[in-house]
A and B are shown apart, each in its own frame.
Chain A
């Protein structure tokens, strides 16, 4: 009997404790504190993240920490986060995420954030990058969002604009996600009826892919008469996107990009992507589930938003003389700086 009363008391007091926390947090007087570790300032994804909370009138105080493309600064931010104990940490990009949260098979509680729930975004391959072991749920105190769209969806959409029977593909052989990409494209040859002409960027003397050979590969693909070049979410090629896309435009070959950067900031003709602002929005939605609905982050599957955009680089379309079909014009987001 005594046991019974004790347990009832415990339960009641337990509820009381939870209740008091809920009552205290997430009000205009005492907003949630979200600590954001950013890579290159508060760009579209970060802005989209914040906009979601504003739109849904969830009171949040954001602490922005920008490493200005220098990952060495992340360690300091981690230390600060541990000190001020925010309600949530947000990390931007694969590198920042790995530095702040650690790979799942090598977590160091000294170096990494483990106690505070965390959400990552703008990570192309969370499993391959070893941030999580499965997309079904991290199993640790974090969750996050992807942003890539399945290759099949990408290519089907691309075919609405550029009909292709020969698809060129240049990739960095050292990147795990490029290998995944290659396998999937090879599989799709049979499904979508095209021939894949794939070329790995050769390694230089430093055992790293040599960016000076990218243009040669594009020329070789041109000789192979490819109709379209596919640029995957490959970090090396993203950095060297200008070499690839500019050479392609010179040779009158359209480039399809799996991420928005080559289309928005270089000369890829088209892309089927999740805009960063949409990814930020969707990540904020997951974050709100943790903060407001008290869902355990380890149970939230890692998904990409399904509101993808068809983006077209119009100056490139004009340069190639390859105009988007009317059906695509009506749905596409056009990048134009006439």
Chain B
């Protein structure tokens, strides 16, 4: 019998790729065109609105100046005009300058930008109409001129012409984010459609054909729907069933005639009835995972700001520390719940456990949308944390138990990729949402997203996990394991100087300090969302760099040290970069890059330490590392908040950055000192 492949696998993969990228390209182009068109329409409508706003502002100011004039104060003797006009300009960012002229068109009072040029320009202008477009120096303004009471003079309000452009840029940036997130969602959905919809079907037909080709008639293909591939599979199933029943008839006849099976038939295998072969498409978990993590990440960039708004008076605790509590409690519950969630998943299976987690999240987010006190906020976040830990453990278990042997790395990549892409999409999109529809509505969107994740999960046949062999998973994590592991000095050093500080930097700097600090520096919620997104973007793409580096050169330790250094020193850039916001962005970028290049090698070193001999199982090491990392995540906001209380935001970033740098140095030292010992261990 020939064993030549029935279908050229490479061709199939190529076909899939072409299909996939064509769809994505079509989507991107159409969405981009749509966004651009919408922008043009918007600009067309916005420009007159802005100059009209100049008119409305000028009117309100005229009323106020007239009030003073009506009191009999001579126009040239108005008192405190500088502060008064400054108040006005400060309250309206689009206003570039305000001026009051007397009846002879002499400028009496003027505040705002390039005062001298504006003064000269206003005095030399005839002003035939109320609204004038003025080009002064290299800037342009919509000037609104309104007469003051009794023709005593006039008031001029100048609105920046580029204000429209700036607003457009901001809206454009938001639109790009929305576009980006739509592409990511489309990407995920396409992956699901192709993997579960097409690939899984082709594969099941191929497997059936391969079985038939091998003379094995004991399996049937799984029927997933009612398309052409399903028709084909049904036909094949029918043929197999018919052959099986023919064989059964033949056997009955043989038994009746007391004959034995002919020699040439013994190589074939039949079954009565044949079993349906089910191989779940691993990628099917991606969409629910992506949506679920997305719902959590939506609030990432504004949670501390929201907490600050809710935090009232908690006696004797500084506000900054109070604000860190929701993040700390979240991380704590997350850490505590994880081992329990793992055990639950072992006992009840992944499917009900994921659904339980998603339900927790929905409840948590709905509560968050309506929370009325700080305590409620903390409790709701705790429910979200429990939900997140339960659901993500269920997904990880699903991937581990369903991945064919040898595909564990791919399964892990599926998980990490999903989390990272959701992080990118969620933080940026969440910022835009918070800016446009408010914090509470964004939590509502989170609840909805979790609900959709639940629905997609529930409806997908691939999420039902197959029965596992059991052996590898019997052994559950125990805290004793953690203690045993920590007794190994090099492991303890790695945790203390790399794993834990990495998470302190992440939770303390990125999740807690960044939103609050950028808010204080006057950034919009969308800006903050985009800034936090940069981290996930760099981690995601930096991972490729990291694995390439790690594979090419045997330099895992160096990568971990370098990652820690980059992150720590990056935060310290605030000491030398004069512009604080830029320093924060550099910090985020360095944190992302540092995390990207150090995370995977760190885990590889940790598991590698115990890979030989009768050490603890790899899964136990992974769980221990995760647990310690979460301890770091818990400590991060507390340390950051305490530092803010003592030294302000800038000081807190310096403290966290110094901590990171010192840990990286300590790791480097212990690595250098520890090296000869490694040989000794190897010799043992």
Contact A314 B78 (CB under 8 A): no
Q: Which residue of A lies closest to B80 (CB)?
A: A325
B84 contacts the other chain (CB 8 A): yes
Q: How far is the CB of A250 from chain B (nearest CB, A)?
A: 20
B67 contacts the other chain (CB 8 A): yes
> Digit string of A308-337 for contact with B (CB within 8 Å is 1, else 0)?
000000100110000111111110001010
Task: Give the residues in chain A near B87, CB-CB below 8 Å.
Answer: 327
Task: Give the residues in chain B near A330, CB-CB below 8 Å.
Answer: 64, 67, 84
Contact B64 A324 (CB under 8 A): no
Task: Give the residues in chain B near A317, CB-CB below 8 Å.
Answer: 71
Contact B72 A326 (CB under 8 A): no
**Bound CA–CA A317/B65 (angstroms):** 17
Contact B71 A326 (CB under 8 A): no
Contact A325 B71 (CB under 8 A): no
Q: Count A-side interface residues using an 8 Å CB cutoff.
A: 14
Contact A323 B77 (CB under 8 A): yes
Contact B72 A314 (CB under 8 A): yes
Q: Which of A314, A324, A336, A338 contacts B79 (CB 8 A)?
A: A324
**Bound CA–CA A323/B74 (angstroms):** 9
Contact A327 B78 (CB under 8 A): no
**Bound CA–CA A317/B64 (angstroms):** 19
Task: Give the residues in chain A near B79, CB-CB below 8 Å.
Answer: 323-326
Contact A314 B71 (CB under 8 A): yes
**Bound CA–CA A121/B79 (angstroms):** 37
**Bound CA–CA A318/B77 (angstroms):** 11
Q: Which residue of B lies closest to A323 (CB)?
A: B73
B83 contacts the other chain (CB 8 A): yes
Task: Give the residues in chain B near A324, CB-CB below 8 Å.
Answer: 68, 71, 73, 79
Q: Which residue of B lies closest to A326 (CB)?
A: B84
> Digit string of B42-74 for contact with A (CB within 8 Å is 1, else 0)?
000000000000000000000011011001110
Task: Give the residues in chain B near A323, CB-CB below 8 Å.
Answer: 68, 71, 73, 77-79
Known contacts A323-B73, A323-B77; is-contact A329 B83 (Cβ 8 Å): no
Known contacts A326-B64, A327-B87; is-contact A334 B80 (Cβ 8 Å): no
B232 contacts the other chain (CB 8 A): no
SS class, residues of chain A in contact with chain B: helix
Contact A329 B81 (CB under 8 A): no
**Bound CA–CA A327/B88 (angstroms):** 11
Q: How far is the CB of A318 from chain B (nearest CB, A)?
A: 6
List CB contacts (< 8 Å) of A13-56 with chain B.
Answer: none
List CB contacts (< 8 Å) of A265-320 with chain B.
Answer: 314, 317-318
Q: How far is the CB of A151 from chain B (nearest CB, A)?
A: 24
Contact B72 A338 (CB under 8 A): yes
Q: Which of B64, B72, B83 contacts A325 (CB 8 A)?
A: B83
Q: How far is the CB of A313 from chain B (nearest CB, A)?
A: 11
Q: Which of B71, B77, B84 contacts A327 (CB 8 A)?
A: B84
Task: Give the residues in chain B near A318, CB-CB below 8 Å.
Answer: 72
Q: How far is the CB of A335 from chain B (nearest CB, A)?
A: 11
Contact B64 A334 (CB under 8 A): no
**Bound CA–CA A323/B75 (angstroms):** 11
Q: How far is the CB of B110 from chain A (nearest CB, A)?
A: 14
Task: Give the residues in chain A near B64, CB-CB below 8 Å.
Answer: 326, 329-330
Task: Give the residues in chain A near B71, CB-CB below 8 Å.
Answer: 314, 317, 323-324, 329, 334, 336
Contact A327 B72 (CB under 8 A): no
Task: Give the residues in chain A near B78, CB-CB below 8 Å.
Answer: 323, 326
Q: How far is the CB of B245 from chain A (nearest CB, A)?
A: 87
Q: How far is the CB of B87 from chain A (nearest CB, A)?
A: 7
Task: Give the residues in chain B near A328, CB-CB below 8 Å.
Answer: 80
**Bound CA–CA A131/B80 (angstroms):** 44
Q: Which residue of A lies closest to B82 (CB)?
A: A326
**Bound CA–CA A318/B69 (angstroms):** 12
**Bound CA–CA A329/B69 (angstroms):** 10
**Bound CA–CA A65/B163 (angstroms):** 65
Task: Give the residues in chain A near B67, CB-CB below 8 Å.
Answer: 329-330
> Digit string of A153-187 for contact with B (CB within 8 Å is 1, else 0)?
00000000000000000000000000000000000
Task: Give the residues in chain A near B65, CB-CB below 8 Å.
Answer: 326
**Bound CA–CA A328/B68 (angstroms):** 10
**Bound CA–CA A327/B64 (angstroms):** 10
Q: How far is the CB of B502 from chain A (nearest CB, A)?
A: 51
Q: Which residue of B lies closest to A336 (CB)?
A: B71
Q: Which of A326, A336, A338 contacts B68 (CB 8 A)?
A: A326
**Bound CA–CA A329/B68 (angstroms):** 6
Q: How far is the CB of A309 from chain B (nearest CB, A)?
A: 16
**Bound CA–CA A328/B79 (angstroms):** 10
Q: Which residue of B lies closest to A328 (CB)?
A: B80
**Bound CA–CA A326/B80 (angstroms):** 6
**Bound CA–CA A314/B67 (angstroms):** 13
Known contacts A314-B72, A336-B71; is-contact A325 B84 (Cβ 8 Å): yes
Q: Which residue of A lies closest to B88 (CB)?
A: A326
**Bound CA–CA A326/B65 (angstroms):** 8
Task: Give the residues in chain A near B73, CB-CB below 8 Å.
Answer: 323-324, 329
Task: Give the residues in chain B near A325, CB-CB below 8 Å.
Answer: 79-80, 83-84
Q: How far is the CB of B79 from chain A (nearest CB, A)?
A: 4
Task: Give the residues in chain B near A338, CB-CB below 8 Å.
Answer: 72
**Bound CA–CA A95/B142 (angstroms):** 63
Task: Give the residues in chain A near B72, CB-CB below 8 Å.
Answer: 314, 318, 336, 338
Q: How far is the CB of B108 from chain A (nearest CB, A)?
A: 13
Q: How far is the CB of B150 from chain A (nearest CB, A)?
A: 14
Task: Give the residues in chain B near A336, CB-CB below 8 Å.
Answer: 71-72
Q: Which residue of A lies closest to B63 (CB)?
A: A330
Q: How far is the CB of B152 from chain A (nearest CB, A)?
A: 15
Q: Which residue of A lies closest to B77 (CB)?
A: A323
Task: Give the residues in chain A near B81, CB-CB below 8 Å.
Answer: 326
**Bound CA–CA A334/B67 (angstroms):** 11
Q: How far is the CB of B61 from chain A (nearest CB, A)?
A: 10
Task: Give the residues in chain B near A334, CB-CB below 8 Å.
Answer: 71
Q: Which residue of A lies closest to B109 (CB)?
A: A326
Q: Which residue of B lies closest to A312 (CB)?
A: B71
Task: Give the residues in chain A near B68, CB-CB below 8 Å.
Answer: 323-324, 326, 329
**Bound CA–CA A318/B72 (angstroms):** 8
Task: Give the residues in chain B near A326, CB-CB below 8 Å.
Answer: 64-65, 68, 78-81, 83-84
Task: Give the residues in chain A near B77, CB-CB below 8 Å.
Answer: 323
Q: Which residue of A lies closest to B85 (CB)?
A: A326
**Bound CA–CA A273/B465 (angstroms):** 77
Q: Which residue of A lies closest to B65 (CB)?
A: A326
13 CB-based A-B contacts, threshold 8 Å: A314-B72, A324-B73, A324-B79, A325-B84, A326-B68, A326-B78, A326-B81, A326-B83, A326-B84, A328-B80, A329-B64, A329-B67, A329-B73
Where the two chains meet, the residues of B that have a C-beta atom closer than 8 Å to any C-beta of A are 64-65, 67-68, 71-73, 77-81, 83-84, 87
Where the two chains meet, the residues of A that have a C-beta atom closer than 8 Å to any C-beta of B are 314, 317-318, 323-330, 334, 336, 338
Sample of 14 more A-B contacts, CB < 8 Å, known A324-B71, A326-B68, A334-B71? A314-B71, A317-B71, A323-B73, A323-B77, A324-B68, A324-B79, A325-B79, A326-B65, A326-B78, A326-B81, A326-B84, A327-B80, A327-B87, A330-B64
> Which 5 A-B pairs give the minimum distances between C-beta atoms?
A325-B80, A326-B84, A325-B79, A323-B73, A329-B68
